[in-house]
Amino acid sequence: MLRMHNLSKVYRTHMIETHALRGFDIHVAQGEFVAVTGPSGSGKTTFLNIAGLLEEFTGGDYVLDGVNVKGMDDNARSKLRNEKLGFIFQGFNLIPDLNLFDNVDVPLRYRGFNAAERKRRIDDALGRVGLSSRIKHYPAELSGGQQQRVAIARALAGGPKLLLADEPTGNLDSQMARGVMELLEEINEQGTTILMVTHDPELAARAQRNVHIIDGQVSDLMRETTASLAAVAATA
């Protein structure tokens, strides 16, 4: 689904060069739920932005669902982003003067679906996150947890292959966070690959696999939670 090889990202100013990522290698398979952890400033968000085609990288290769994105122009990247990716942000990033229906509608508009198809997808996505009854509500009328659910519905509506979540529960209390996490797990079970950046070890532990980033490099690629659990079970 996602493969990066020897990827680097350098931020340059006229004074200094900052290597946000260097020699970065990662492979995420179809259907995985991967948690990306690491200390602040380690390069997690840079990785997520590059994975989400929101930033260009300086060197290396990145193949997303079989498409090499190196050197793609803005139009092609936007199209790929729209068709294959879904985003969930820490701050929800809903558009305040659009109701839930219209918020979920945004990525579908850019896809060029007709009105009937858009409505079907919006109803379906809001149904999946349990907000069908609040379709005409505005974001400000919802709790944080509900807003994040709308953001998830928006991410799901286009039928993405890969869901990128940046601290999806960072702005939520523990109860709401649990609800959102359960929803993500459910989505993953239905076949969507999820890549989640988090500071929260508890959330990370619920992913199938953890990727730890330190100083712009993957420090431990192979620690798979499920495999570990299987090993422990076998020993016992």
Partner 1 sequence: MFRYYFDLGLRSLRRNPVLTALMVLTLAVGVAASMATFTVLYVMSGDPIPHKSDRLFVPRLDNAPLAGYAEGDEPSDQMTYIDASNLLASGQGVRRTAVYGVGSGIDSGRPDLPPFQVQGVAPTRDFFEMFEVPFLHGGPWSASDEAARNDVIVLGRELSEKLFGSTSPVGKRIRMEGAEWQIAGVIDTWKPLPRYYRLINGNGGSFTGADEFFIPFQTAVSHEMGNSGNNNCSGEGPKEPGYQGWLKSECDWIQFWFEGKTASDQARLKEFLAAYVTDQKKLGRYPRPINVRLENVMEWMQHLGVVSKDAKLSTWLAFGFLLVCLVNTVGLLLAKFSARAGEVGVRRALGATKREIFHQYLTEAAVVGVVGGLLGLLLSFGGLWLISLQSEEMATVARMDWAMLALTLSLSIVASILAGLLPTWRACQVTPALQLKTQ
Helix (H, G, I), strand (E, B) or coil at 201: helix
Smallest separation (angstroms) from partner 1 to the CB of 75:
5
Which has the closest alpha carbon to 135: 146, 123, 149?
123
CA dist 82 and 87 (Å) reads: 10
The interface with partner 1 within residues 169-208 (CB under 8 A) comprises none
Instruction: State in angstroms the smallest separation of the CB of 78 from partner 1.
Output: 4
Longest dimension (CA), the chain: 58
Q: Which residues are CB-neighbours of 1 under 8 A, at least 6 positions away?
A: 28, 29, 30, 31, 32, 64, 65, 161, 162, 193
Tell me whether residue 38 or residue 107 sits nearer to partner 1 (CB atom): 107
Site membership for partner 1, residue 136 (CB under 8 A): no
Minimum distance of partner 1 from residue 107's CB (angstroms): 4
Of 12, 15, 74, 232, which one interacts with partner 1 (CB under 8 A)?
74
Residue whose CB is less far from partner 1, 20 or 211? 20
Tell me how far, at minimum, the Cβ of 154 lies from partner 1, in Å. 7
Instruction: Match 């009105």 to its residue by tokens.
Output: 115
- Measured in Å, how far apart are the chain's first and last C-alpha atoms? 34
* Candidate list 23, 25, 54, 137; residue touching partner 1; CB under 8 A: 54
Residue type, 200: D
Rule CB under 8 A: which residues touch partner 1?
Answer: 45, 49, 52, 54-55, 74-75, 78-79, 81-83, 87, 89, 91, 93-95, 97-98, 106-107, 109-111, 154, 158, 166
